[in-house]
Amino acid sequence: MSIRLCKYLADRGLCSRRQASRLIEQGRLQLNGAVASHISHIIPGDQLLLDGMPLPAADTKQVWLYHKAAGVDCNLNPAKSDSLYHQLQQLPVRLHPVGRLDKDSCGLLLLSNDGELTQRLLHPDFEHPKEYLVRTEPAPNAQQLAALAAGVHWQVGPHQYQSKACRVWPAPHGFRIELTQGLNRQIRYMSRAVGLKVVFLQRQRLGELQLGALAEGQSRLLTEQEYRQLRHSLGLSATPADNGVAAG
């Protein structure tokens, strides 16, 4: 079975689809002796080269749980000292963030080289639940919590947004919220819409994965059982398939 080149590279954990597109645009990928294009597909036995050299071997598929600190930017820019890029360089395999947390937020962020799993987690149709702890000024009242749970509207520039109904319950100096949407800075805009200012925002759960006692700035590899369960919960096979394309 053939597979599109960008998807192949992402599924193998060699780079993201966006990075693969850049390599194609730059003419740096060669497929069976010819310069690859955006419509190139690969089948088992094909030869794929980068700058005329065999690609590095794909790392074993992994998912890591990382406790992102506030002030760390999820944009992977090596020129910026606050970029997540520098934390990723300390890990033993090449990983990319699965989604993002805004720079001012902290908490659970998944890191992975499993492109298939990443695409499934980020696809909005699957509505994976994510739980957050939020502290606000002032503390919310019952009416504000009810409004958040029912769904609120906000505008950013010319764009209009509406949150879906969600679970919200009180917490000291704030609230907990479970979302299935992933709109940009959603909780901050939702809070502002009911007269609250977010002063602390931490993602504590994604699906069944909990931040738990993992210290800020630390990461841990999911166990094989956790990884298999995560893939199963996403409707994927327990073990990612090897596409069998020759690296050189």
Q: What is d(CA 82, CA 73) in angstroms, rounded to the nearest whole number?
A: 6
Q: Would you call 83 exposed, middle or buried from its count of C-beta atoms within 10 A (0-12, 13-18, 19+)?
A: middle
* Beta-strand pair 174-179/96-98: unpaired
User: How far is CA 95 from each of CA 29, 151, 228, 234, rounded to the nearest angstrom?
Assistant: 21, 35, 18, 20
For residues 126, 129, 132, 138, the Cα torsion angle rounded to the nearest 10 degrees is 80
Is residue 242 annotated as part of the catalytic site, yes or no?
A: no
Instruction: Answer yes or no: are the C-beta atoms of 78 and 161 closer than 8 Å.
Output: no
Report the half-sphere exposure of 9 (CA within 13 A, side-chain side).
24
From 11, 46, 102, 104, active-site residue? 102
For residue 230, the Cα-to-chain-centroid distance in whole angstroms is: 14
Q: What is d(CA 134, CA 100) in angstroms, rounded to the nearest whole number?
A: 17
Closest CA relative to residue 72, chosen from 218, 192, 214: 218
Positions marked catalytic: 102
